[in-house]
Every structure is written in C-alpha cells, then in structure tokens.
C-alpha cells in the first residue's frame, strides 16, 4: 500500500455534510482538493456545489471511485461511518469527529485489523500536503507553506501553532498530519514517522505530543531504531494535574509514563531535539537546517 | 462520569455479583433504622467521589445502631478530603450502611481499557485493599492481567490459568470465574471505562463478595444510557466546573494559579498553560472553549474565569479555524457587560476573522494588551504581573 504522502490519485469523498462539514468541505475545495462525492442518508440525489450527494458510501464509490474518505458525521454514528467506508473499499479514511464512545472505537479497531485501510483519527484535524494542494480535514490552508518539514501531532489548534511558527520563519512543510487526541485511534506517531522517513520530500520532522498514554515513548523507540532525519519534538501538558482529563479523552495523567517529563526523557535519549516551550518549535527546527 | 459506591453496587447486584447487604441513608435516623435491620454491627461509609476514604475518616465501624446513627450524623453535611482528592473537598450528603463482614482475605479485581493493547483488560491481584499502582511497583508478580478480545469475550482458558497460578480451591475458583464474567458483562453493556472491586473479599463461609466498588462511565457514551445519566451527582463537582460542563466547555480549575486561560483546542490550551508557567506565572485553569464556540459559550467562559478570585490576569489565545475570532470577541464583550467583571487581558488572536475581532475588542473599555504571537504574549504576562 502506497503511503498517503505519495499517492497518484487523491479523490475525496465526504460523509456528513452538516453545518461544520459543509463549511469545512468548501474550505478543502477552495484549497484545491478534488472532492468528488458527498454522502448523506437523506440528501441523496442533491448536490453540494455541483458535487453529487449519494445515499450510501457504496453508491458513491460505484460512481466516483474516491481514494480518500473524510468523515464529519456526529459522534453517535461516526464509528458506523468508518466501517461503512472500510466496507466500500476506501483505503484512506480520515475521521474528524470528536467524542466517539470508547467501545465504538474498540469495535472499529478490531474490525479494521488486517484490512487494507489506513484510518487517521478520530478527533483529529486530518492531513494536508501543500505540494499537492491536498487538504483533507480542517487544517487552515492559509497558514501552511510548501517545503521540506513534516509535521505530526495529536492536537488540532496546537498543530496550527507549530505550522505558523514554521511558516513565519520561512520554513515550509512537506505534509502536516494530525493523528488525534483520543486514546483509541488509527494511525499513530510511529506510522507517520515511517512515512516521513520514506518520503523524499521530507527532510526534517516536527512532532508534537502531549501527556497521557505511551504513544510518545513508542515513537521514541522507533526514532532511535529507524529514523535518520532530524526530529524536533514538544510535549505539552507539563502543568497539567494528575488524574484530570485535559479536554482530549487521551490527555490524562495516569501513572508515571503518562507524564510530560517521562516522554521528554525518552525522546531525548532517542536523539530528538526538544523544544522546551511550545513557542520554540519553529526556532528549534531552524537551528537544525 | 463517576458513580457512588452504592450506585455501583446496585449495578453489581442486579447482575448477580455478590455484595454485602447495604442501604443508603440521608440522616442519622435512617442510618439507625438500617443498622437495626442488620442486627447492629455495620459499616458507615461516606458516599463521595474520592478514593482513600478509609484513611480520611470516611469509613467507620459501628457496633450498634446508635453508633451507626452517630457516625452518620457526623459525616452527613461535612466535607471529605482524601490523599487522592488533592485540594478538593467532597460534600457528604449520603452514607452507605453496610452489614459488617468477617474478612478472611482481600483480593483486587478490575476491568478497564488497555489503550496500548487496544482492548479491555481484566486485572486481578492477591493484594487487595492496596492501591493497585503501589502493588504493581512492589509486587509485580502478584498481579495478573488478562487481555480480552472484544469479539471473543474473556476466554475461559485464560481465567483458568489465572486461577491455577494462585492455586484457588474448587469452590472459590468457580465463584471467581462467575464474578469475572459478570463484571466483564457490566463493563461492556454500560460503556464503563473502569470497574474496580477493591477489595474483593473472601469472607466467612468461603464466599467472595465485593466490599467496595468503583465504576466510571465513558462520558461520550452517556447519550445511550439515559438511566445512568440520572445517577450523576452534581454536588460532587466543583461549581465552576459544573457550570462549564453545562455550557459544553472543558474547564479544570488549577490551584495556586493567577493567570486565567481562555483557549480553543485542548492541545493549545495545555500549551498555553505551559507557556504561562515558562513566563514565570502559574495558570489558574485549563479551558478549551471548543471548536465551534458560540457567543453565549464564550460569554459563560468569560464569566467562569472572572469568577475565580485567584485570577489576576487573563490570557486569551484563540486560533480561528472552525471557531470565528469575531464571534469570540463579541462573546467576551457580552460577558464583560453582563457580568460586569473586569480583569486585565493579554490577547492573542489568529486565524479566521482575527482582524475583525481585534477591532471589536479595541472599541471596548476593557484593559487589553494585544500580542501578535505566543512569545510576545509570554513577555506581556511577565510585564503585567511584575515578575
């Protein structure tokens, strides 16, 4: 399976064209993304800015052969949308929806195990590749610039913060990928780091982690073993109290390994450059290139 | 959402997990009646959303109904602070009166989600009554974890292996086997994120019973559990946090802080707290106004932050995406007008309609210091607080 960074065809299907979904879909189109179909259970036969809306993903796939599925469906129905897209054979599924029950994502994760699909999210801002004029999700197109730095993050607006810092310093991005703030998610840091390592257009990597879980430690281990490109990382939540969920379902300190300090320690030992303050991500990267 | 012990035990009982007899009481008189029905010997337990109640005086033994009544009267209406609850004091509005048990041995049993393995996990330990993290550190060989494939459920062979490791006799084995299956069933059908039985006690007569019970429900799944939603006890939550929750704001009060933070996005909100600390000040709260916050929601956010007497300065850091900065600015002005509270503000606005937002704020009479980016906002905080 080719990496999402290097696919030849990037036709997008959007499921869930409500208020936010419609607004964001328009932003994707404005940026240059090729949106070929919409899916809405009660709007079949209608159009969204000349894009046909179908009643099911299967129907939409039959007529428009999309490569990527983008989901804005409300949380109670979002896991079903993911499964519907997987069943219809869509290879890259990006789920923006926040607040999907853990049990639902448990089923999704088990269902997609071993299947030919890359799930990004849920509760994520999606991904954006400036070079391809491809924006799948909600990262603002106005702040990115084309270049050689790959950005990967668990957070939404904090990703924008990092992108802005890079752009202001004249450092463009090869791709920006938000993997989401939920504890049960599809694509992980490790997956995206691997993509950046293999991507000819990426020369350096920015990784933004946060408290909770052990995803950053897994990333550190992987960086040590198989990433040759320089990595700058920042971990937020150093001031967060223990045991409280900091907005993201996954951002809660339970046990030592969930602490920012522990994550920083393992990243440092893997040779990662740490931006002590989230304000220094861009500057830290500039020092390296 | 956390449940009280008595609520958790009702759920256990309805799934046939053995528990001691018990009933909830709202006064000393009620406690006395219940204790009499148990023959006098009983335990009076404060119903609060905090662990570590025993050490904090929230669990008392009573030898007769009068003692039970006395303990209940002392507890009800007071506040409990435990080593696990930090600075928070939890109000005791109810006590649970439970038949006293003669304990032979205490075990630990829990079902929770293992996010690294992406599946539920059953945790059993022979060292009950202790904090499980402590057991994990001191006696790692006394804990057994069973990872459960959600499509298969708890495999009988895995439970048999657990039983054989600890060499339980036939009768206890069969009870434990049943309890594990019952708990797993409760865990899945109620969208729990945690069920913890600590201790699971072996009592006289060779029976296993759940002496304590903690259940936490996935907030995101509450929409399909209207029955559980009724069990929510507002009194156990900090007033500002409750008000925030009702307005769809993710807010957490942080003790000792002086800079109130208003941010969109959880990651950026945490980053903003960290930046505040790097600037030499302490954040007074975590606050994520959410993706598509309305004017009203921002207004309430303003009210919550300015109601905190610790707050000397507010840092507003908004990155418009789905959120429109001009809408947020109007919300701040409305909040200022409606609640008539003013605290100096350092404001960073970027993204969607940020210029319009700045103009709206500039026209107000509020004390506002604009910054173009976070490093300069940090400097401004420093300057304003005279650090």
The minimum CA-CA distance between A246 and chain B, rounded to whole Å, is 7
List the single residue in A with minimal CA-CA distance to B277: A239
Residues B93 and B175 in one domain: no
Rounded CA-CA distance B104/A38 in Å is 64
pLDDT band at B52 (very low <50, low <70, confident <90, very high): confident
Question: Does the pLDDT at position B387 exceed 70?
Answer: no
* C-beta atoms of A157 and B283 within 8 A: no
Residues B68 and B178 in one domain: no
* C-beta atoms of A183 and B265 within 8 A: no
Question: Does the pLDDT at position B74 exceed 90?
Answer: yes
Question: Does the pLDDT at position B162 exceed 70?
Answer: yes
Residues forming beta bridges with residue A70, ordered by sequence position = A14, A94
Q: How many CB atoms are closer than 10 A to CB B63?
A: 12
Burial of residue B133 (CB within 10 Å: 0-12, 13-18, 19+) is exposed
* C-beta atoms of B113 and A276 within 8 A: no
Chain B residues touching residue A276 (CB < 8 angstroms): 278
Question: Does the pLDDT at position B17 exceed 70?
Answer: yes
Domain boundary among B171, B204, B236: B236
B5, B196, B300, B380: the catalytic one is: B196
Residues B329 and B275 in one domain: yes
- Contact in structure between B143 and B181 (CB atoms under 8 Å): no
Residues B10 and B143 in one domain: yes
Chain A residues touching residue B316 (CB < 8 angstroms): none
The minimum CA-CA distance between A62 and chain B, rounded to whole Å, is 31
* C-beta atoms of A240 and B273 within 8 A: yes
b/e sequence B280-303, b meaning 16+ C-beta within 10 Å:
ebbbbbbbbbbbbbbbebbbbbbb
pLDDT of B85 reads 72
Q: To the nearest whole number, what is the mean pLDDT of chain B?
A: 93
List the single residue in B with minimal CA-CA distance to A162: B268
Residues B225 and B175 in one domain: yes
* C-beta atoms of B220 and A237 within 8 A: no
Chain A residues touching residue B350 (CB < 8 angstroms): 160, 164
Domain boundary among B42, B65, B100: B100
Instruction: Name the residue among A153, A161, A138 with its Cα closest to residue B318.
Output: A161
Residues listed for chain B: 387
* C-beta atoms of B273 and A239 within 8 A: yes
- Contact in structure between A229 and A205 (CB atoms under 8 Å): yes
Find the domain containing B221 and state its range.
Answer: 1-20+102-236
3-state helix, strand, coil in chain B (%, to 5): 40, 25, 35
Q: Are strands B95-99 and B22-25 parallel, antiparallel or unpaired?
A: antiparallel
Residues B199 and B271 in one domain: no
pLDDT of A117 reads 96
Residues B226 and B354 in one domain: no
CATH number at residue B59: 3.30.1490.20
For chain A, how long is the longest CA-to-CA vector? Answer: 56
Residues B128 and B250 in one domain: no
Fold (CATH) for A139-288: Rossmann fold (3.40.50)
Segment B78-112, tens digit of pLDDT: 999 888 777 778 999 999 999 999 999 999 999 99
Number of domains, chain B: 3
CATH number at residue B170: 3.30.470.20
Q: What is the dihedral of CA A220, A226, A232, A238, to 10 degrees?
A: -10
Q: Which three-class secondary structure state does DSSP give residue A128?
A: strand
pLDDT of B351 reads 86
Closest partner residue to A99 (CB to CB) among B220, B321, B378 is B220
List the single residue in B with minimal CA-CA distance to A239: B274
The minimum CA-CA distance between B270 and chain A, rounded to whole Å, is 5
Cis peptide before B338 (omega within 30 of 0): no
Active-site residue flag, A248: yes
Task: Measure Cα distances from A251 to A160, A164, B218, B269, B355 in Å.
Answer: 19, 23, 14, 12, 32
- Contact in structure between A139 and A192 (CB atoms under 8 Å): no
Chain A residues touching residue B321 (CB < 8 angstroms): 125, 138-140, 156-157, 160
pLDDT of B51 reads 85
Residues listed for chain A: 289
| CATH 1.10.12.10 given to domain A4-120 | no
Per-residue pLDDT, averaged over B355-362, amounts to 95
ipTM of the complex: 0.91
Residues B107 and B127 in one domain: yes
Segment B305-318, tens digit of pLDDT: 999 999 999 999 99
Residues B252 and B136 in one domain: no
* C-beta atoms of A184 and B115 within 8 A: yes
Closest partner residue to B267 (CB to CB) among A155, A214, A238 is A155
* Average pLDDT per 10 consecutive residues for chain A, totaling 289 residues: 90 94 94 97 93 97 98 97 98 96 95 95 96 96 96 93 95 97 94 97 97 93 97 94 83 84 96 94 92
Residues B169 and B244 in one domain: no
Burial of residue B363 (CB within 10 Å: 0-12, 13-18, 19+) is exposed
pLDDT of A249 reads 77
B6, B96, B107, B108: the catalytic one is: B108
Domain with CATH 3.40.50.720 in chain A: 4-120
pLDDT band at B269 (very low <50, low <70, confident <90, very high): very high
Question: Does the pLDDT at position B141 exceed 90?
Answer: no
- Contact in structure between A211 and A252 (CB atoms under 8 Å): yes
Chain A residues touching residue B149 (CB < 8 angstroms): 110
Domain boundary among B77, B100, B123: B100
Residues B200 and B283 in one domain: no
Higher pLDDT, A18 or B76: B76
Question: Does the pLDDT at position B290 exceed 90?
Answer: no
pLDDT of B40 reads 80
Domain with CATH 3.40.50.261 in chain A: 139-288
Chain A residues touching residue B278 (CB < 8 angstroms): 276-277, 279
Rounded CA-CA distance B133/B126 in Å is 14
pLDDT of B206 reads 94
């Amino acid at each position: 399976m080719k990496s999402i960074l290097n696919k030849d065809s990037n036709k997008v299907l959007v499921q869930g064209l409500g208020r936010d979904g419609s607004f964001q879909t328009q932003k994707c189109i404005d940026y240059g993304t090729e949106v070929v179909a919409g899916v809405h259970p009660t709007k079949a036969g209608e159009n969204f800015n000349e894009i046909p809306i179908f009643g099911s993903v299967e129907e939409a796939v039959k007529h428009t052969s999309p490569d990527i599925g983008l989901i804005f469906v409300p949380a109670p129905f979002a896991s079903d949308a993911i499964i519907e897209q997987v069943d219809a054979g869509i290879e890259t599924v990006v789920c923006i929806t926040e607040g999907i029950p853990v049990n639902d994502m448990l089923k999704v994760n088990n269902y997609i195990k071993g299947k030919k699909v890359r799930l990004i999210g849920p509760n994520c801002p999606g991904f954006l590749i400036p070079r391809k004029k491809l924006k799948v999700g909600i990262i603002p197109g106005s702040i990115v610039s084309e270049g050689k730095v790959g950005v990967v993050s668990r957070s939404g607006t904090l990703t924008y913060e990092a992108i802005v810092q890079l752009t202001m310093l004249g450092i463009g991005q090869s791709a920006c990928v938000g993997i989401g703030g939920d504890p049960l998610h599809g694509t992980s840091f490790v997956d995206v780091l691997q993509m950046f390592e293999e991507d000819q257009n990426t020369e350096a990597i920015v990784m933004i982690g946060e408290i909770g879980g052990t995803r950053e430690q897994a990333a550190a281990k992987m960086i040590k073993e198989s990433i040759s490109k320089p990595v700058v990382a920042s971990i937020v939540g150093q001031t967060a109290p223990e045991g409280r969920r900091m907005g993201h379902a996954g951002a809660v300190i339970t046990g030592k390994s969930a602490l920012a300090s522990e994550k920083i320690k393992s990243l440092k030992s893997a040779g990662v450059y740490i931006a002590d303050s989230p304000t220094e991500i861009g500057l830290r990267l500039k020092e390296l290139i | 959402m956390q449940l009280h012990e008595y609520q958790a035990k009702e759920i256990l009982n309805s799934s046939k997990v053995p528990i001691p007899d018990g009933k909830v009481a709202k006064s000393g008189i009620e406690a006395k009646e219940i204790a009499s029905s148990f023959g006098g010997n009983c335990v009076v337990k404060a119903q609060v959303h905090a662990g570590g109640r025993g050490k904090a005086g929230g669990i008392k033994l009573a030898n007769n109904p009068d003692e039970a009544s006395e303990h209940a009267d002392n507890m009800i209406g007071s506040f409990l602070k435990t080593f696990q609850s930090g600075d928070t004091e939890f109000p005791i509005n109810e006590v649970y009166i439970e038949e006293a048990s003669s304990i032979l041995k205490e075990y630990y049993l829990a079902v929770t989600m293992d996010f690294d393995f992406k599946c539920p996990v059953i945790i059993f330990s022979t060292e009950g009554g202790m904090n499980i993290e402590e057991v994990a550190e001191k006696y790692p060989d006394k804990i057994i974890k069973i990872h459960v494939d959600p499509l298969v459920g708890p495999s009988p062979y895995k439970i048999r292996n657990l039983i054989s490791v600890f060499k339980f006799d036939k009768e206890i084995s069969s009870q434990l086997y049943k309890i594990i299956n019952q708990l797993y069933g409760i865990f899945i059908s109620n969208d729990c994120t945690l069920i913890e039985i600590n201790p699971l006690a072996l009592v006289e007569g060779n029976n296993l019973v759940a002496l304590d019970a903690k259940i936490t429900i996935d907030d995101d799944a509450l929409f399909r559990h209207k029955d559980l939603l009724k069990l929510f006890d507002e009194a156990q939550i900090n007033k500002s946090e409750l008000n925030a929750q009702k307005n769809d704001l993710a807010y957490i009060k942080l003790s000792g802080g002086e800079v109130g933070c208003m941010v969109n996005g959880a990651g950026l909100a945490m980053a903003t707290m960290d930046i505040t600390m790097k600037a030499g000040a302490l954040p007074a709260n975590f606050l994520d106004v959410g993706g598509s916050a309305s004017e009203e929601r921002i207004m309430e956010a303003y009210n919550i932050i300015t109601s905190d007497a610790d707050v000397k300065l507010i840092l507003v850091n908004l990155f418009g995406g789905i959120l429109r900065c001009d809408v947020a600015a109007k919300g701040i002005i409305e909040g200022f007008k409606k609640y008539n509270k003013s605290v100096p503000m350092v404001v960073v606005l970027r993204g969607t309609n940020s210029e319009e937002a700045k103009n709206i704020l500039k026209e107000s009479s509020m004390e506002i210091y604009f910054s173009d980016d976070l490093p300069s906002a940090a400097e401004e905080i420093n300057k304003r607080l005279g650090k």
